[in-house]
Chain A
Amino acid sequence: MARMKFLCDADRCIECNACVTACKNEHEVPWGINRRRVVTINDGKPGERSVSMACMHCTDAPCASVCPVDCFYTTADAVVLHSKDLCIGCGYCFYACPFGAPQYPKVGNFGSRGKMDKCTFCAGGPEADHSKEEYEKYGANRLAEGKLPLCAEMCSTKSLLAGDGDIIAQIYKARVTKRGYGSGAWGWQTAYRESIAI
């Protein structure tokens, strides 16, 4: 089985936000919720870099560990998903997540954050694949169609890579070797406890 990962090549990201838009459209994500976002560091200064970030589907995911109702599960492809039927909207996954991935439909309204929403790696949820319930709660299930996440597919500079960790690491390594530089796989050390050796 594959071990699904995201990799954002920060030397290629041009902060066009197409990944953000593609994600919102594909899953019909409600207002105020961003499963993916692009963060620009040192904006406007020399050496600025933009990184597209969503749930990294961590190894031994902290969100799953701290969830008081144990609503998370990991698929055979190592995608971290959760059940909105079991989620109580307590916000604990949000405290634990290193990437700010969990989103809540009613942020700030005391006591009622609502069911948590996050990136599913375009893999839907616990409901039957391609069912209406699955789409309404979690969005499209592209993985079940044999497709990879739309954010990466839409990426205009192919900065964002999604797929089996070994394969995307290989692609990134080849790029770095060819062009002679690379700022590394952002978030990998934190999410997977390993980086790409170049």
Chain B
Amino acid sequence: MLGILAKFLMKVRFIAGALALAFIIAVAAPVSAQQPISVNPTASAVQEQQLLKELNKIQGRVSIPDKRSDVLEQPAGREWRQWHQVTLRWIGAIAILGMLALLVLFYLVRGQVKIVSGLSGRKVVRFNAFERFVHWLTATCFIILAISGLNVTFGKSLLLPLLGPSAFTTWSELAKYSHNFLSFPFTIGVVLICLMWIGSNIPNATDVEWVKRGGGIVGKDHPPAGHFNAGQKLIYWIVVLGGGASAISGYLLLFPFYGTGISGMQLAQIVHSVVAVLFIAAMLGHIYIGTIGMEGAAGAMGEGTVDINWAKQHHSLWLKDEMSNAKGSGQSRPMGTPAE
């Protein structure tokens, strides 16, 4: 009798358990059916803003042959734009117009640097034909490169309204080709300048003295100088280093993707343009002192000779060397024919 009761109770417990389990499953079922909706694939996926924050660009893989197009997004172009449209224009305008203003002011205050003792009529060779050829090769290229380069930054504000779109495009295309092709002779010129004049352009004690005494530019003093004075050495190093920097950065732009990607090209353009405008400003100073700024200087790069009195005043140590060399080696180079 007890046994039957126990069996019955066990059955009841089993049924109750089964019912409870069925109830739990029934209640839980809708929850488990909703589960796919609560899965959020975005949570585990790559996030645009996060990628941009980490690298400032998004790069992936493309299946088209042009593998360079695998950069999806690189907002740095916006900063480069700010540089090109605003900052560079200010730097360029201030450097170039500022230099022109300074030169005009300097000319008005100081006037032309005269040869104090007048022309002697006796000439001494300062630059031989090869040196002059290299100088003018580089200078001609530089002037065309400068004008065509400035056209890229300032042309559309200054020239486009004057020429109209179609003529301005013709001119700019011509300017672009000149800029690209003349970069090669210009680079050769810079390399030759670097090699042929490096010996006389190493800074030394004479330069310190020259700078201390105002170099003959400020005041009426005429400190001694060798073949090149400290100012000319500065110009030499501007040409060598500035020319080198603009050549390297320029070739990176000329051969896109050979050396750098887009961000590298943006950087190269920044270096190229800032070096270029400062270079142009420096060369304006160089042109001034070589022409209207100083009596008797232009001949050095013209026919290659300068007046003895000019040499005495500006390059006393160099003249001394040249004279003693001439005496020693039977007048090989320095003394030109006395002019009447």
Contacts and interface: CB of A to CB of B under 8 A. Distances in A.
A66 B85 contact: yes
Contact of A66 (B52, B65, B84, B155): B84
Given A88-B172, A95-B269, A111-B181, A41 B58 contact: yes
A93 to B, nearest CB: 9
A42 B180 contact: no
Contacts of A53: 72-73
B78 A68 contact: no
A46 B44 CA distance: 7
A156 interface: no
Interface stretch (B16-24, B257-265, B310-318): B257-265
A69 B78 CA distance: 19
Task: State the main secondary structure of chain A at its contact with B.
Answer: loop
Contact of A38 (B62, B81, B172): B62
A91 B260 CA distance: 14
Contact of B78 (A38, A40, A62, A85): A62
Contacts of A20: 64
Interface string A88-103: 1111101111111000
Interface in A40-66: 40-43, 46-51, 53, 62, 65-66
B256 interface: yes
A32 B168 CA distance: 29
Contact of A90 (B77, B165, B176, B262): B176
B153 to A, nearest CB: 7
Given A15-B63, A95-B266, A181-B40, A41 B77 contact: no
Contacts, number: 173
B153 A11 contact: no
Given A184-B48, A186-B48, A32 B84 contact: no
A86 interface: yes
Contact of B165 (A70, A100, A186): A70
Contacts of A47: 41, 44-46
A184 B58 CA distance: 15
A155 to B, nearest CB: 16
Contacts of A69: 155-156, 160, 165, 168-169, 172
Interface in A13-45: 15, 17, 20, 32, 34, 37-43
A65 B42 CA distance: 35
B180 A111 contact: yes
Nearest to A46: B44
Contact of B62 (A10, A37, A91, A181): A37
B47 interface: yes
Contacts of A97: 77
A189 interface: yes
Contact of B46 (A42, A67, A107, A187): A42
Contact of A183 (B47, B165, B254, B255): B47
19 contacts: A11-B45, A20-B64, A32-B65, A34-B66, A37-B66, A39-B61, A39-B70, A39-B72, A66-B81, A66-B84, A68-B172, A83-B165, A98-B78, A111-B176, A111-B180, A183-B45, A183-B46, A186-B72, A190-B75
Given A69-B165, A95-B269, 9 more contacts: A39-B60, A39-B69, A41-B59, A43-B61, A62-B81, A68-B172, A98-B78, A182-B42, A187-B48
